[in-house]
Amino acid sequence: MTALTLSTAAAPGLRVDAIVVGVAKGTGPKSGDLVVAPGAEAVDKAYDGRLAGVLETLGASGGEGEVTKLPAPSGFKAPLVLAVGLGALPEKDASFSGETLRRAAGVAARALAGSKKAAFALPIEDAADAGAVGEGALLGAYSFDVYKENGKSNDSGKDAKNGKAPLAEVTLLGGKPRDKAFKAAVERATAVSEELNRARDLINTPPNDLNPEAFAAVAQAAAKEHGIKVQVLDEKALEKGGYGGILGVGVGSASAPRLVKLSYTSSKAKKHLAFVGKGITYDSGGISLKPAGHNETMKCDMSGAAAVFAAVVAASRLGLEVNVTGWLALAENMPSGSATRPGDVLRMYSGKTVEVLNTDAEGRLVLADALAKASEETPDAIVDVATLTGAMMLALGNRTFGVMANDDSFRTAVYEAAEEVGEAAWPMPLPDHLKKGMDSPTADIANMGERYGGGLVAGLFLKEFVGEGITWAHLDIAGPAFNEQGPFGYTPKGGTGSAVRTLVRLAELTASGDLG
């Protein structure tokens, strides 16, 4: 894992492989000019104040995501300066946004894969900026190569045979290392990024290695390490407890399902949050088998559970003054002679019966049981996270998750928390009239409804299993959970860790009494 520190050292004397500076596109009277961003004054001075001109000569435009490498000026111990584009220079008196800094730091960290140490001289005005740059760098430095020959090279000391080792050490310049707020920001960035990267590891782990039992074991080990109470219900306990939804999805697989409960408690807590995650370790569709072309990325169908797991551990590492319970609904959705058939009726944990019309609508079945169970503790709010519907991807694309809720102000609060941490989200409605489509002649409800608004139909199904009077929000992360395209900003290819930062922010806001 990449290390993150603050330093007041002067840039020229730093023994690092690269110094990262920011470059922006001038606006107003400077329109069209390249501007070296604050924080890089010492570097610019060493180029006799000509850094912007030199970068322009090299073709830099200051656009977001742009990387320009140049030899460090004489007198510098570091061999390389890396200029990363920040986009348009903010208006006078305004600052670069946290998300701009986070993305730029991520771009720089990715571009420096293969190097060991880098110092970031980006525009840091306050502790929050330092946290954003730190987070971006740690998230951008992520790599998943445990399945490649030689494994992680910076841990083993060897060079990775396939691809470059992630940047090992990041030093933030321009912050205040002894300032309490700056220290806390670096600690927060480290805890959140490390746990988020661990969620990415789980998502990227192939489904033959990460089945429900293996996921539960990982959660148990982490809970032990971080003083979190953990309880795992195996298939026998699930049967005894009447968890027909989780069992119905898992019954076709050779790997039995699990329900994991993680309880982080603080002696100073005044509120209790429950997070519920969809943890389908592989979604083949079951008997309603997915067609070729739709199966290849379905190891990502446990991203919701991974996000919940990461958020609970992060809340514990940060010592947040709120109780957080995480529920991981883990099952593998496979077709077999023992699998649930379209037409079967399941008796759910809540006592409701569900006619399974499509075994590929399995996420709502495992979540329904976990939501009903989580409701028994009457938490102040429940937030579930799930790669639930392809329909949400059609609606919002692959970088934005949908937020649905049974409470308008809570939906707004969740959406705003997401925006604050730099996660793209959008509020979606739960129109009552769509419920009718799930009427079943045989059971209380069917697991499928109208095709149009499929993401909202799934949300309406879940709503039926949330306890009376409990505030609830549902995040459908089917789009942003897994990046099938090239990396961008601090987001790698593959598992992204979507929703982790939103959940952590919700826990923080609840702890400080700024939510609900």
Cβ neighbour number for residue 241 with a 10 Å cutoff: 15
For residue 75, CA distances in Å to 12, 37, 173 come to 6, 21, 18
Please list, in sequence order, all residues whose beta carbon lies within 8 angstroms of the beta carbon of residue 354, skipping any fewer than 6 positions away: 244, 245, 345, 346, 348, 365, 368, 440, 443, 444, 445, 446, 447
Q: CB 285 → Mn ion: shortest distance, Å?
A: 6
Binding mask 387-426 for ligand BES (x = CB under 6 A): xxxxx-----------------------------------
Shorter beta-carbon distance to Zn ion: residue 191 or 280: 280
Asked if 502 contacts 417 with a C-beta cutoff of 8 angstroms, the reply is yes
Per CB under 5 A, contacts with Zn ion among 255-314 are 280, 283, 301
Q: Longest Cα pair distance anywhere in the chain, in angstroms?
A: 80
Asked if 476 contacts 470 with a C-beta cutoff of 8 angstroms, the reply is no
The position carrying tokens 């990325």 is 297
Shorter beta-carbon distance to ligand BES: residue 316 or 491: 491
Binding mask 138-167 for ligand BES (x = CB under 6 A): ------------------------------
For ligand BES, the nearest residue by Cβ is: 390
Go through the chain and tell me how many residues it has.
Answer: 516
Task: Give CA–CA dist 263/271, Å, rounded.
Answer: 13
Query: Residue 454: which of ligand BES, Mn ion, Zn ion, none does it interact with, CB under 5 to 8 A by kind?
Result: ligand BES
- List the catalytic residue out of 25, 261, 271, 364: 364
Q: CB 431 → ligand BES: shortest distance, Å?
A: 17
In whole angstroms, how large is the CA radius of gyration of the chain?
Answer: 24
- List the catalytic residue out of 148, 152, 176, 290: 290
Flag whether 155 is marked binding. Answer: no
Shorter beta-carbon distance to Mn ion: residue 201 or 360: 360
Flag whether 301 is marked binding. Answer: yes
Task: Give CA–CA dist 25/36, Å, rounded.
Answer: 9
Cβ neighbour number for residue 149 with a 10 Å cutoff: 8
Flag whether 93 is marked binding. Answer: no
Task: Give CA–CA dist 112/248, Å, rounded.
Answer: 47
Q: List, in sequence order, the alpha helices (H) in 177-257.
A: 180-204, 212-225, 235-241, 244-250
152: helix, strand or coil? coil
Q: CB 215 → ligand BES: shortest distance, Å?
A: 16
Please give the structure tokens belonging to residue 447: 């697991």
Q: At what angle do helices 212-225 and 180-204 cross, to 10 degrees?
A: 160
Shorter beta-carbon distance to Mn ion: residue 68 or 387: 387
Does 224 participate in catalysis according to the annotation?
no
Residue range at the interface with ligand BES (CB under 6 A); choices 57-65, 244-252, 383-391, 467-475: 383-391
Q: CB 221 → Zn ion: shortest distance, Å?
A: 26
Does 352 participate in catalysis according to the annotation?
no
Q: CB 455 → ligand BES: shortest distance, Å?
A: 8
Query: Residue 259: which of Mn ion, Zn ion, ligand BES, none does it interact with, CB under 5 to 8 A by kind?
Result: none
Task: Give CA–CA dist 514/502, Å, rounded.
Answer: 14
Shorter beta-carbon distance to ligand BES: residue 92 or 433: 433
Flag whether 283 is marked binding. Answer: yes
Of 166, 252, 363, 455, which one interacts with Zn ion (CB under 5 A)?
363
Shorter beta-carbon distance to ligand BES: residue 305 or 361: 361
Residue 207 touches ligand BES, criterion: CB under 6 A:
no
Shorter beta-carbon distance to ligand BES: residue 244 or 454: 454
Asked if 1 contacts 191 with a C-beta cutoff of 8 angstroms, the reply is no
Q: CB 300 → Mn ion: shortest distance, Å?
A: 12
Flag whether 384 is marked binding. Answer: no
105: helix, strand or coil? helix
408: left (phi > 0), else alpha (psi -120 to 50), else beta? alpha
Amino acid at 456: L
- Site residues (vs Mn ion, CB under 5 A): 283, 360, 362
Provide the β-strand partners of residue 262: 230, 326
Per CB under 6 A, contacts with ligand BES among 164-203 are none
Please list, in sequence order, all residues whose beta carbon lies within 8 angstroms of the beta carbon of residue 494, skipping any fewer than 6 positions away: 144, 200, 203, 204, 482, 483
Of 87, 131, 326, 454, which one interacts with ligand BES (CB under 6 A)?
454
Shorter beta-carbon distance to ligand BES: residue 422 or 480: 480
Task: Give CA–CA dist 107/397, Å, rounded.
Answer: 22
Per CB under 6 A, contacts with ligand BES among 261-300 are 283
Binding mask 336-375 for ligand BES (x = CB under 6 A): ----------------------x-xxxx------------
Instruction: Return the active site residues.
Output: 290, 364
Which residues are known binding-site members for Mn(2+)?
A: 278, 283, 301, 360, 362
Residues lying near Zn ion in the complex (CB under 5 A): 280, 283, 301, 363
Which residues are known binding-site members?
A: 278, 283, 301, 360, 362
Residues lying near ligand BES in the complex (CB under 6 A): 283, 301, 358, 360-363, 387-391, 448, 454, 478
